[in-house]
């Protein structure tokens, strides 16, 4: 019930639409039943001989017709004239019924899409606020699946399936009322098979819930595989692994097919079983109703209309009985969507964040430890200081903890132990947005969006003017090539900047950092993947970017760190050496060995 309550909480903003839709649904059910009720005077008038009046009312339906239709239509006169008037009335009722049908369908569509929009906004808004640890544990395809396919299932449950349920309830109540007016005894006979129809679906619900959850999980894995393969398509081609990927994908789609058919097999069992029960109920009505007609307790036209209404009764009962099973995909999707909405962020905002105006003294890492997984520390007891305006280089083998240190500085994660401070203030006491506004990032893997050059340079800077964007591009040596693009700064760069070269993408990233004008700069070897000519241009842009800033450089090539004020050598999550380039070379330690491995032909390497 808490799951239903939570789903309905998303419908609250759409309550007026839903109330109007429910009203239209109720009136539609009334008009729908009225069409069948009008068949009674039609048939009676058709078979009355000599213009005689129909028999005096003996049951509730007779009295209802005497008070309504027979007041407006004189059936004692010309039968054909009366039939014509009844036909016009039936047509009018049909017209009104379809107006209500249009209203309910349109209003429900508005509510459905509003719910769809609100759910996606809520889940997406929560997801982008989570820390990087969440995205390290959950595959991208699973996230996409929940934001698309599974929210569609949830939307279908909360609106489409529930609207069917509501329509079934109204149709059931109205048909039942009309049947009771005709004959309460025949109506009682119609209910003999209804409890059995409701009971059929009970044992299937748990099975369907389990199987539908498996279907959605495997569907998410299919999406994840597609996203993963397409993002690495260059590697797939270079490795001639197309057949391998086809085989993996066939295995996944085969599993999805099998799991889907297992769920549908269980779901399909109920339909023929309820149909057989409905058929049994109809046979009972035929036998007992015929006896009532022969005994004179019921007219022939009323019995025919009763049979027609019983079909209208069984159809809602089938929908009501099947609802627990048809709702299972939506319920399972709801659980999975709400799992994401409930996912906690390990990076928690301070309840009363303190202001940090900039950096006046420097950054301090004080006995910082961190582990991505329990028992596997990525950093252990790391301490160092970065003075304002200085350049600190982080070097060491892959996996030594260099990127983890700057991720902790930006609070993508929080330390397991120790603290990081700016001007003595623990960064956990600062609002995350204020902290990250102090830091500019330029990495070797430039991230660009499928948007214009201007939007990519100004990303995250709401007040960036065209003049400021162009000034940043000029300083990054990007203006000339941007100007030559088909639409200049309005040119769309393609997904991940595919329309630009590596050097051009890097200059866009540097322009973005220049425009951001953050006092702390993190450089992740911004020129390491470029050719010599592009590197020279970009190195000049990087030099401009570094001016007057506190810089932390993640260095993969030691030739780029020689001017650093301090170099920290990391190994297995610990700082094993620190000093300047010259002082570290003078030692026979990790830094010197790294240097010799990169520069085997240098005099220093040959001497050693």
Per-position DSSP letters for 41-84, written without gaps between them: HHHHHHH-STTPPPPPP-SHHHHHHHHTHHHHS-TTS-HHHHHH
pLDDT of residue 606: 44
pLDDT of residue 45: 77
Dihedral over alpha carbons 478, 483, 487, 492 (to 10 degrees): -10
- The ranges of the chain with pLDDT < 50 are 49-53, 55-56, 529-531, 601-608
* CATH classification at residue 173: 1.20.1560.10
> Is 179 a domain residue?
yes
Tally the C-alpha atoms within 13 A of residue 182's C-alpha that lie toward its C-beta: 31
CA pair distance 305, 424, nearest whole angstrom: 86
CA pair distance 388, 406, nearest whole angstrom: 16
For residue 309, the tally of other CB atoms under 10 A from its CB is 24
CB 146, CB 340: distance < 8 Å = yes
Which residue segment(s) compose the domain that 237 sits in? Answer: 2-341
> Is 312 a domain residue?
yes
> Is 250 a domain residue?
yes
Cβ neighbours for 608, distance < 8 A, ≥ 6 positions apart: 592, 596
CB 221, CB 252: distance < 8 Å = yes
> Is 568 a domain residue?
no
Read off the pTM: 0.66
> Is 472 a domain residue?
no
> Is 71 a domain residue?
yes
* Per-residue DSSP letter, 562: T
pLDDT of residue 56: 47
CB 162, CB 18: distance < 8 Å = no
Number of domains, the chain: 1
> Is 301 a domain residue?
yes
> Is 363 a domain residue?
no
Q: Is 601 exposed, middle or buried (0-12, 13-18, 19+ CB in 10 A)?
A: exposed
pLDDT of residue 559: 65
């Amino acid at each position: 019930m808490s799951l239903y309550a939570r789903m309905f909480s998303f419908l609250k903003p759409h309550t007026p639409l839903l109330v109007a839709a429910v009203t239209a649904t109720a009136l539609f059910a009334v008009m729908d039943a009225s069409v069948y009720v009008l068949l009674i005077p039609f048939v009676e008038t058709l078979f009355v001989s000599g213009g005689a009046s129909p028999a005096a009312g003996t049951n509730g339906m007779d009295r209802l017709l005497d008070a309504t239709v027979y007041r407006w239509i004189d059936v004692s006169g010309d039968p054909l004239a009366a039939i014509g008037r009844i036909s016009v009335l039936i047509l009018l009722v049909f017209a009104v019924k379809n107006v209500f049908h249009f209203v309910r369908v349109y209003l429900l569509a508005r509510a459905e899409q509003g719910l769809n929009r609100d759910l996606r906004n809520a889940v997406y808004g929560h997801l982008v606020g989570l820390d990087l640890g969440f995205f390290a544990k959950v595959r991208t395809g699973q996230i996409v699946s929940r934001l698309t396919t599974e929210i569609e299932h949830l939307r279908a449950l909360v609106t489409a399936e529930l609207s069917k349920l509501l329509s079934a309830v109204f149709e059931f109540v109205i048909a039942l009322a009309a049947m009771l007016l005709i004959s309460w005894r025949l109506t009682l006979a119609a209910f003999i098979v209804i409890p059995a129809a409701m009971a059929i679906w009970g044992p299937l619900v748990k099975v369907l819930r389990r199987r539908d959850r498996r279907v959605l999980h495997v569907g998410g894995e299919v999406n994840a595989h597609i996203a993963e393969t397409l993002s690495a398509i260059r590697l797939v081609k270079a490795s001639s692994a197309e057949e391998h990927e086809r085989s993996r994908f066939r295995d996944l789609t085969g599993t999805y097919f099998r799991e889907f058919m297992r769920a549908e097999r269980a779901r399909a069992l109920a339909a023929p079983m309820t149909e057989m029960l409905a058929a049994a109920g109809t046979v009972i009505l035929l036998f007992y109703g015929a006896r009532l007609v022969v005994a004179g307790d019921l007219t022939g036209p009323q019995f025919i209309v009763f049979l027609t209404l019983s079909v209208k009764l069984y159809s809602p009962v089938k929908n009501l009985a099947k609802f627990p099973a048809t709702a299972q995909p939506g319920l399972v999707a709801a659980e999975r969507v709400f799992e994401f909405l409930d996912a906690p962020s390990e990076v928690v905002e301070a309840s009363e964040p303190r202001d940090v105006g900039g950096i006046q003294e420097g950054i301090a890492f004080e006995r910082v430890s961190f582990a991505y997984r329990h028992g596997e520390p990525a950093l252990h007891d790391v301490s160092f200081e970065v003075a304002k305006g200085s350049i600190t280089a982080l070097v060491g083998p892959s996996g030594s903890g260099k990127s983890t240190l700057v991720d902790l500085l930006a609070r993508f994660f929080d330390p397991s132990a120790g603290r990081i401070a700016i001007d003595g203030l623990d960064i956990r006491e600062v609002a995350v947005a204020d902290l990250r506004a102090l830091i500019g990032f330029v990495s070797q893997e430039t991230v660009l969006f499928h948007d214009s050059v201007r939007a990519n340079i100004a990303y995250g800077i709401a007040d960036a003017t065209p003049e400021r964007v162009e000034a940043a591009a000029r300083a990054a040596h990007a203006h000339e090539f941007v100007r030559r693009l088909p639409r200049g700064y309005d040119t769309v760069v393609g997904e991940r900047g595919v329309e630009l070269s590596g050097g051009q993408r890097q200059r866009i990233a540097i322009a973005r950092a220049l425009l951001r004008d953050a006092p702390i700069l993190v450089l992740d070897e911004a020129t390491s993947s470029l050719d010599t000519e592009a590197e020279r241009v970009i190195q000049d842009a990087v030099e401009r970017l570094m001016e007057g800033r506190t810089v932390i450089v993640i260095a993969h090539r030691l030739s780029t760190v020689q001017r650093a004020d301090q170099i920290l050598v990391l190994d297995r999550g610990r700082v094993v050496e620190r000093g300047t380039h010259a002082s570290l070379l003078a030692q026979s330690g990790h830094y010197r060995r790294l240097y010799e491995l990169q520069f085997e032909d240098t005099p220093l390497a040959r001497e050693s």
